A and B are shown apart, each in its own frame.
Chain A
Amino acid sequence: MKGVATRSEGTVRLGPGTLYGALKRLLEAGLVEERGERAAPDRGDERRRYYRLTQLGLSVARAEARRLDAMVRAARRKKLIGERPA
């Protein structure tokens, strides 16, 4: 949740309900899977579960990133947004 807030510069704030609702849908779609390992006690609460992208999830994420990149380039060509910073 903190990572999302940082990367989005505070514009996207996830709560536990939104996060786990999205996680449930991603699991059902086969885009993420549970890692099966539990956290070491020195890393925090050992009851936490960890998830990772599946191969399908990685392919979908890359396809979505390419789609968004194409949209941003089209918006720049039409001067709807500024030039890419150096």
Chain B
Amino acid sequence: MSAERIYELLLRAYPPDFRAEYGREMVLLFRDQCRESDVRTVGFWAAVIWDVARSAPALRAEAWCTRGRESTRTIEVIMKLAAMLTVLVGVFGILNAMVEWGAALTGTIGGVHALALVLGVCASALLLGAGAAILRGTGGRQAARLALFASLVTIVAARLLFPWMSVFSQLVGIGLPIALLIGLYWPRRASPAGAA
């Protein structure tokens, strides 16, 4: 195996993007070093390995941090989309409860059913408020968390009072606040865009 081939294998310690950008020049430089030094000596290879060991981990760490910043931006974009969805779900939840209330009024509506509908409207309003707070930016994050917790408690109470709540309503009413809370508590750095 030639010295250049060995060095090309050592280059795999560097991040792929860095290798794609500078790998060719690094091999050319190494070729120059081979012409000026004796590649059969231990000292030559010790210097080569030391150079890779000193520079590759730092570049890997920088690449990882860069990926971390990009994933933070991805989470923020997802949070904004989820917040818009939450606002829509909140609006439809309120409208649905009003329609159900109207339909129930044509007959007799029990007290428990009425209370469950009221709790459903409250939960939907809290979801709508949480979505709006997330869309406001980092300043609304704490308010969004409180609203989501309150919405979760309210919908669970409604479910306990009214066991005939549809599966879809339960999934959305419980799953959506939990998913948003996970997104809000997910550790990330401040984004220059000032997103949620």
A contacts, CB < 8 Å to B: 1, 13-21, 23-24, 45, 47-49
Contacts and interface: CB of A to CB of B under 8 A. Distances in A.
Contacts of B50: 15
Given A15-B47, A16-B51, A21 B29 contact: no
Contact of B25 (A13, A15, A18, A48): A48
A43 B19 CA distance: 25
A48 B33 CA distance: 15
A45 B26 CA distance: 13
Contacts of B52: 15, 17
28 contacts: A1-B29, A15-B47, A15-B48, A15-B51, A15-B52, A16-B26, A16-B29, A16-B30, A17-B14, A17-B51, A17-B52, A17-B54, A17-B56, A18-B51, A18-B54, A18-B55, A19-B29, A20-B22, A20-B25, A20-B26, A21-B55, A21-B58, A21-B59, A23-B22, A24-B22, A24-B59, A47-B24, A49-B25
Contacts of B28: 45, 47-48
Given A1-B29, A48-B28, A15 B55 contact: yes
A21 to B, nearest CB: 4
Question: Which of A18, A20, A24, A45 has most chain B Cβ within 10 Å?
Answer: A20
B64 interface: no
Interface string B22-52: 1011101110010000000000000110111
A20 B56 CA distance: 11
A10 to B, nearest CB: 12
A45 B47 CA distance: 24
B14 to A, nearest CB: 7
Contacts of A14: 51
Contacts of A21: 18, 55, 58-59
